Amino acid sequence: MHLADIFRSEHILIDNLEKDKFMQRIQFLTSEGVIAFDSQNETIRLSNTKASSPVLEMFFKMQQVFVDTYLLVLMMLEQICGKHVIIKQKLIVHELHTSIKTLYSDKLLPHLQSCLDELIWTSIIRFEEMEYVKINAYANKQGSKTNFLMSNIESMEKLN
């Protein structure tokens, strides 16, 4: 498994109303020499200028939050793989959230944003898409649904 495989589904959706604003920001950053924009391939890369150094550092810190969260979720999945356990997704998210806050307090993680519930939920969903875990939803009598995580022995082989 490669890091690129985990993040290949992560993207930013831009609707037509936001596209003009987005392109204005791209043009501004291009004019300041921070980025180079290739309109044919629709790719952006950092320029080799002094102005791009703080931007590179910001993006590094942003991706570090994702990597830390995804790795911790992956470690959790490894612990439940092949053990025939079924766990409420909400409980797992809460426990991971609390654990990440503790790791941050103990100065083992550099960014508190790693504990965001949305990141944890998204990473679990991405690992479900990669078939490392299965999410089953069950409705109760009131109509709300509860998601449960389970993992089987085949998932263990993918993780190793």
Tens-digit pLDDT profile for residues 22-73: 788 888 888 888 888 888 887 888 788 887 788 778 877 778 888 889 889 9
- Residue 12: what pLDDT? 54
Q: By CB neighbour count within 10 A (0-12 exposed, 13-18 middle, 19+ buried), where does 123 fall? A: buried
Residue bearing tokens 């085949």: 154
Is pLDDT above 70 for 154? no
Return the structure tokens found at 43: 């790719």
On the question of pLDDT at 155 being above 70, the answer is no
**Average pLDDT taken over every residue of the chain:** 81
**Helix 89-105 crosses helix 52-80 at what angle (to 10 degrees)?**
130
Q: What angle do CA 88, 110, 50 make, to 5 degrees?
A: 130
Residue 105, pLDDT > 90, answer yes
* pLDDT of amino acid 10: 57
The answer to pTM > 0.85 is: no
Given a cut of 70, whether residue 141 has pLDDT beyond it is yes
The residue-averaged pLDDT of 103-112 equals 90
pLDDT score for 65 = 86
Can you tell me the distance from the alpha carbon of 104 to that of 112, in angstroms, rounded to the nearest whole number?
A: 6
User: What does the pLDDT read at residue 96?
Assistant: 92
Q: What does DSSP say about strands 43-46 and 134-139: parallel, antiparallel, or unpaired?
A: unpaired
Contact 104, 80 (CB under 8 A): no
The whole-angstrom separation of Cα 117 and Cα 115 is 6
Q: What is the dihedral of CA 91, 64, 4, 55, to 10 degrees?
A: 140
* Model pLDDT, residue 113: 86
